[in-house]
Structure formats: structure tokens, C-alpha cells
Amino acid sequence: MTEHIDNDVFNKLKKPSNDFSDFVGIETHLERLNWLLYLESEEVIMVGIVGPSGICKSTIGRALFSQLSSLFHHHAFVSYKSTKQWDDYSMKLCLDERLLSEISCQKDIKISHLSVVRQMLNRKKVLIIVDDVDDIEVINTLVGQTRLVGSGSRIIVITQDKKFLKSQKIELIYEVDFPSYNLAMKMFCRSAFGQNSPPYGFEELAAEVANLSGYLPLGLNVLGSSFKGMKKEEWVDMLPRLRNSLGGKIEKTLRVSYDGLDGKDQELFLYIACLFSGHKVNHIK
């Protein structure tokens, strides 16, 4: 008999954990993801979460994991970003060890063969979220290790590159968009003023700083925190420096996104950047 999730559970799912209550707009992200995940279905469903660096994909994934994990026999949230050159077998062992550590709540588990995870997940209803995927072999390994999971399982992959998802025919994809102007201002003002809108006299200054962040959620939070507690005169003094150079944390995040592009896309990015800056295209040749 097919199990149904009752209304009480669904009502709980509408609200994120208190750990994420300060994340403006999180409810909308979770509602859309829950619709994609179709929790009433007993099928095994794989979903991708895609977006640029700094858009808060990982935070959305964490909030989703916090909301759903109690509904599954086993659950794991694993961050995986390739940092060294491994052969395929070593990489698969590393991913399996991380999965086992999360599922069993034990640190630094070591295994000597790849069948351990398959045995543990065999016919079990599991929730697995793999974050920061930048290697196609990680997707291949994940799919291979979860072929025998039980009915109702959900596998979620978070990445910047949609091609990793397409390689395994993951067609249910949630693309994290940039926030609207109103949401961006709310994010920024929460960090800068501890409220949802700018105080009297700060409206134009707050709007300009939010615009300088490109409405990137990480940038909005970092810049907002850097202005927190400042007087209006200090804001005015700081703005010229921001117009010429953003803070190191934001620039580092944007750099990661740029480095993730292939050669042709990086070249196109530089062309566009020069045009927006008023330079001739041959300035970068």
C-alpha cells in the first residue's frame, strides 16, 4: 500500500527550521523544491539545484535538508569539491566515506571497498544531498551507488554547472535566480540595519550599495554587515571606494564563478565587462 504524508507533516514542511529564519525568501525556495521533489510519490527522484557562486545554493540545500531529513530512514548532506587529482577509485572511496560518516554520524570513517554504501542503502528510503559538485565523476559515482535505494528516496545535487546534471539525465532542475529588487533590499537592510527597510535618510545610499553587490545574496549580506553601525557620513565616505573595488570576500566569490567558465566564456565575460566599463573591446586584446 502506498504511504501518504499526512496534512500535519505537510504543514510542518511549509516552515523552514529556525536556523534559517533570517534568510530572506527561504520559504519560497523550499516551496518550489518541495513541489519538484513530489514527496507523496514512492518513486526514487533526483533533483538538481543550479546557480552561480554566492547565490546561496548551499544555504537553500541545508535548509531543505533540515526540513526533510526526519522523513527518511537515512540522510546525509555531503559537501564535495574536488581539491586534488585522484584516480577514479580513490575519489569514489572518498565520496563513500563521506556519505557513511554523515549517515552514521561518525567522523572519519575509512572503508576499503565500494560495496559498503550499497549494502547500507539497499532498499532503504534515503535523502542524500551532495553540495558543491564540480566533477562529473562525482555524479557518476553518486548515481551508481544509489541505484538500489528504496522507494521514496530523494537524491539532490547542488552545482554551478547544469551539464553535470544533464550527463545523468537529471531533468528536474531548480535554478536559483537573483532576488528581486525588493527582496535584495530586504536582505541588505537586515544585515546593515537589523530591519527590513532603510531608516529615513539612508534610502538612496542603501539602494546604491545593494546595486553595487549585483543583488548577489552573499554580496548583500557581506556589504550590509560591513556598513552596520556606521553613521550616514561614514557611508558617504565609503561609497567611492566601493565603486572602484568591492570587498575581498565578494571579489573572491565572483572570481570562483569566473574561473569556472571555459576559455571562450571567460573571453566573452571580459568583452562584456569592458563594454560596461566604457572601454573599447581591443583594450583587453
Going edge to edge, which strands form the sheet with 45-50?
Answer: 74-79, 126-133, 154-159, 45-50, 172-175
Tell me if residue 159 falls in helix, strand or coil.
strand
Classify domain 7-175 at the CATH class level: alpha beta
Give the Cα separation of 277 and 262 in Å (integer). 23
Give the Cα separation of 193 and 167 in Å (integer). 44
Mean pLDDT computed over 96-122: 78
Mean pLDDT computed over 168-184: 93
- Would you state the pLDDT for residue 265? 52
pLDDT in tens, 244-279: 776 555 665 555 555 555 555 555 545 545 554 455
Domain assignments of the chain as residue spans, ordered by start: 7-175, 181-246, 251-284
pTM, 2 dp: 0.79
- Would you state the pLDDT for residue 240? 86
In the Cβ-directed half-sphere of 50, how many Cα atoms lie within 13 Å? Answer: 14
DSSP state of 176: -
- Would you state the pLDDT for residue 284? 46
**Residue 148, beta-bridge partner list:** none
- Would you state the pLDDT for residue 112? 72
